[in-house]
């Protein structure tokens, strides 16, 4: 029985974060907030006799993405009409790019458990979004409402080559692309609101075969979970079809989130069904050198560049690096904290551990994003400074951080007010140890008879007596020193 290999290519639609629409001056509004059909004009409503004008900022955003993906940029690209009738498309056609797209032949670096590789990008092009239909069950049957606020919103389509072979690679690609779009400030990455949409093309073939199998296209994937589950499901389904001697049909499928199966949607249109032709109302889109060079210069550090730098500069392990470079604001916070921490003699790795651990736990508990963190990076660094110098222990540091989140006060104030500075003074600690040994003669007896574990219990008693403020290393040393001495005495006696 042959083994099978999956082949997956992704098409991604990203609404661009411009202020106005792709071909008119209407504002881009949040569909979940604005009254339906309040951001609409003659152009985006498809009135005859109106003319589109290209949104320069949308082109600039597209260039950012294309350059970051290391694409070949067409100095002249062409807008085309994609003709089809649907109630959410008032013009009867969508302005898109077809034969001569803005950018081609790029690549996105991805990272999986099998290491680093790149997924080739086939094309990146600009188009306009359609309106949004809502299907409503009424007393006389189903009817549909249309909101044209979304019609004409700039949309970037990014199409990969069929280069992925596992769900893990699909996940890495999808997350990596979302991360890049957010780094570049061109898209929020909000899949729930449909601002970022994935379609997966999936086929399988016998392992070792160079030919592509027949593919299906899966739409309606509005979360990473849906994307991954649908791809995994479809790979298994197709293998089963082939193993039972069947043939995979080329078709468009949707993902049923409740039953967790793919379901046929509609017959797949062929390109000729759309009767593409160059948009007569728009001139070729010309990208001048100076513009391209400025956009290139202004690109931020890209996610995979930051990843590498964090590992080299701060010596972070993969897990921490992944989390701390996931978002630019998180990375910026970390670096600000590292700079401040240096002055307290605190290592970057310690800052990383605290951010990925306690700090994010407290943020998540409160549902806060890093921008709204009540503790500025300098204050996190100051807290870690107290820990580094042994003024407080780890448990106290955790309590102080929680307190900083709750009160917004600096670490110094909390430690001062609550008298949390830990005691390292050997004389005081020796006294506490002595008190505990006096108070528990039975346990000391047990220890002397060879029950080593009792030492831990006694340690806990000393820490309790010190109300958690004793330096645990000093306590342990002192306790063991005293117990050793007693053992020697009892051995001699
Ligand atoms: P369209 O969906 O508009 O017909 P394309 O033919 O350009 O567009 O392909 C769209 C996507 O399908 C691309 O991401 C491509 O990598 C992927 N793809 C093409 N053929 C296959 C295949 N046999 N198996 C898996 N993915 C494929
Ligand atoms: Mg397609
Ligand atoms: Zn408009």
- Ligand 1, from 96, 169, 203, 215: best to mutate by most atoms within 8 Å of Cβ? 215
How far does residue 98's CA lie from ligand 1's centre (Å)?
14
43 and 179 in a single domain? The answer is yes
Domain-terminating residue out of 402, 418, 434: 418
Nearest atom in ligand 1 to the alpha carbon of residue 201 is 26
Q: What residues contact 272, with CB distance under 8 A and at least 6 apart?
A: none
Spatial CA neighbour of 163 closest among 201, 113, 208, 207: 201
Q: Whose CA is nearest to atom 19 of ligand 1?
A: 162
Residue nearest to atom 3 of ligand 1 (CA): 271
For residues 16, 21, 26, 31, the Cα torsion angle rounded to the nearest 10 degrees is: -40
Count of CB atoms situated within 10 Å of the CB of 448: 15
pLDDT at 422: 72
**Contact yes or no for 227/198 (Cβ under 8 A):** yes
**How far apart are the CA of 206 and the centre of ligand 1, in A?**
18
Q: Which residue's CA is the nearest one to ligand 1's atom 17?
A: 9
Chain centroid to Cα 414, Å, comes to 34
Distance CA 195, CA 213 (A): 31
Q: Are residues 291 and 306 in the same domain?
A: no
Structure tokens at 406: 């709750």
- CA nearest ligand 1 atom 11, residue: 9
- Centre of ligand 2 from the C-alpha of residue 130, in Å: 16
Tokens 């899949």 identify what position?
191
CA distance 152 to 467: 65
pLDDT given for residue 117 in this prediction: 96
What's the CA-to-centroid distance between 240 and ligand 2, angstroms?
A: 24
Beta strands (DSSP E) in 31-91 are 72-73, 76-77, 79-83
Give the total number of structural domains in the chain. 3
Residue span of the structural domain in which 476 resides: 426-490
- In ligand 1, the atom with minimum distance to the C-alpha of 162 is 16
CA 431/CA 420 separation, integer angstroms: 19
d(CA 6, CA 125): 27
Are 286 and 308 within one domain?
A: no
Full pLDDT tens readout for the chain, 493 residues: 579 999 999 999 999 999 999 999 999 999 999 999 999 999 999 999 999 999 999 999 999 999 999 999 999 999 999 999 888 999 999 999 999 999 999 999 999 999 999 999 999 999 999 999 999 998 888 999 999 999 999 999 999 999 999 999 999 999 999 999 999 999 999 999 999 999 999 999 999 999 999 999 999 898 999 999 999 999 999 999 999 999 999 999 999 999 999 999 865 556 568 899 999 999 999 999 999 999 999 999 999 999 999 999 999 999 999 999 999 999 999 999 999 999 999 999 999 999 999 999 999 999 999 999 999 999 999 999 999 988 888 988 999 999 999 999 999 999 888 777 777 777 888 888 999 999 999 999 999 998 989 999 999 999 888 877 788 888 999 999 999 999 888 876 5
Q: Which residues line ligand 1 (CB under 6 A)?
A: 7-11, 122, 159-162, 201-203, 212-213, 215, 217
This prediction's pTM: 0.86
- Determine how β-strand 216-221 pairs with β-strand 252-256: parallel
**247 and 151, same structural domain?**
yes
What's the CA-to-centroid distance between 11 and ligand 2, angstroms? 7
Q: What share of the chain is helix, strand, coil (3-state, %, to 5)?
A: 40, 20, 35
Among 104, 162, 174, name the best residue to mutate to test ligand 1's pocket (greatest count of ligand atoms within 8 A of Cβ).
Answer: 162
Number of the ligand closest to the Cα of 269: 1
My answer on whether 321 and 180 are in the same domain is no
Angle at 480 between CA 474 and CA 484, to 5 degrees: 145
C-alpha angle with apex 315: 313 to 321, nearest 5 degrees? 95
- Domain check: are 395 and 462 in the same one? no
Whether 437 and 483 map to the same domain: the answer is yes
Q: How far is the CA of 27 from the centre of ligand 3 (A)?
A: 8
The CA 151 to ligand 1 mean position distance, Å, reads: 26
**What span, in angstroms and rounded, lies between the C-alpha atoms of 327 and 415?**
32
Distances, alpha carbon 107 to alpha carbons 118, 124, 167, 173, 399, in Å = 6, 11, 19, 10, 46
Rounded distance between C-alpha atoms, residue 198 and residue 194, angstroms: 9
Verify that 363 and 458 share a domain, yes or no: no
Q: Are residues 64 and 126 in the same domain?
A: yes
* Single residue among 274, 295, 316 that ends a domain in this structure: 295
Please report the atom of ligand 1 found closest to the CA of residue 161: 16
pLDDT digits (tens, 9 = 90+) for 65-113: 999 999 999 999 999 999 998 889 999 999 999 999 999 999 999 999 9
- State whether 314 and 204 are in the same domain: no
Residues 342 and 459 in one domain: no
Kindly report the CATH number assigned to the domain that includes residue 442: 1.10.10.410
Angle between helices 454-465 and 441-448 (to 10 degrees): 150
Contact 351, 321 (CB under 8 A): no
* Same domain, yes or no: 169 and 259: yes
User: Which residue has its alpha carbon closest to ligand 1 atom 2?
Assistant: 217
Q: What residue's CA is closest to ligand 1, atom 7?
A: 159
Neighbours of 176 (CB within 10 A): 17
31-37, Cβ contacts within 8 angstroms, sequence gap of 24 or more: 31/132, 31/147, 31/149, 31/150, 31/193, 31/194, 32/193, 34/149, 36/145, 36/147, 36/148, 36/149, 37/146, 37/147, 37/148, 37/149
**Closest-lying ligand 1 atom to the alpha carbon of residue 123:** 7
Cα 213 to Cα 202: distance, rounded to the nearest angstrom: 9
Which of 270, 295, 320 is a domain's end point?
295
51 Cα–ligand 3 center, Å: 11
């Amino acid at each position: 029985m042959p083994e099978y290999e999956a082949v997956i290519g992704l098409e991604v639609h990203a609404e661009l974060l411009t202020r106005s629409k792709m071909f008119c001056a209407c504002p881009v509004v949040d569909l979940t907030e604005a009254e339906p059909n309040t951001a609409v004009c003659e152009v985006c409503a498809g009135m005859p006799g109106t003319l589109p004008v290209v949104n320069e900022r949308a082109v600039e955003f597209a260039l950012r993405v294309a350059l970051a993906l290391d694409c070949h940029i067409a100095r002249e690209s062409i807008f085309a009409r994609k003709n089809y009738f649907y109630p959410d498309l008032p013009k009867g056609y969508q302005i898109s790019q077809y034969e001569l797209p803005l950018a081609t032949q790029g690549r996105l670096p991805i990272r999986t458990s099998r290491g680093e590789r790149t997924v080739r990008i086939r094309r990146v092009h600009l188009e306009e979004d359609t309106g949004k239909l809502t299907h409503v069950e009424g007393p006389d049957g189903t009817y549909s409402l249309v909101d044209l606020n979304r019609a004409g919103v700039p949309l970037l389509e990014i199409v990969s080559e069929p280069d992925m072979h596992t769900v893990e690679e699909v996940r890495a690609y999808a997350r990596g692309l979302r991360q890049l779009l957010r780094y570049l400030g061109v898209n929020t990455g909000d899949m729930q609101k449909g601002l970022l949409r994935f379609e997966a093309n999936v086929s399988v073939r016998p392992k070792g075969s160079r030919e592509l199998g027949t593919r299906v296209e899966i739409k309606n994937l509005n979360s990473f979970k849906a994307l991954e589950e649908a791809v995994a499901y479809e790979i298994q389904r197709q293998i089963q079809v082939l193993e039972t001697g069947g043939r995979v049909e080329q078709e468009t499928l949707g993902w049923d989130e409740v039953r967790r199966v793919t379901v046929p949607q509609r017959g797949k249109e062929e390109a000729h069904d759309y009767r593409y032709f160059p948009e007569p109302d728009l001139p070729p889109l010309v990208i001048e050198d100076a513009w391209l060079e400025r956009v290139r210069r202004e690109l931020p550090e890209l996610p995979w560049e930051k990843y590498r730098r964090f590992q080299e500069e701060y010596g972070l392990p993969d897990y921490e690096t992944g989390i701390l470079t996931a978002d630019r604001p998180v990375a910026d916070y970390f670096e600000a904290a590292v700079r401040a921490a240096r002055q307290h003699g605190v290592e970057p790795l310690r800052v990383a551990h605290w951010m990925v651990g306690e700090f994010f736990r407290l943020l998540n508990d409160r549902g806060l994003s890093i921008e709204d963190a009540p503790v500025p990076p300098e204050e996190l660094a100051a807290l870690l400074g107290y820990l580094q110098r042994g003024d407080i222990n780890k448990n106290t540091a955790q309590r102080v951080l929680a307190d900083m989140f709750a009160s917004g006060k600096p670490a110094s104030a909390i430690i001062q007010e609550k008298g949390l500075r830990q005691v390292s003074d050997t004389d005081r600690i020796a006294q506490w140890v002595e008190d505990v040994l006096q108070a528990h003669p039975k346990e000391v007896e047990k220890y002397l008879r060879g029950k080593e574990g009792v030492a831990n219990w006694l340690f806990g008693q000393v820490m309790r007596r010190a109300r958690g403020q004793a330096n645990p290393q000093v306590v342990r040393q002192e306790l063991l020193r005293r117990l050793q001495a007693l053992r020697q005495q009892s051995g001699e006696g």
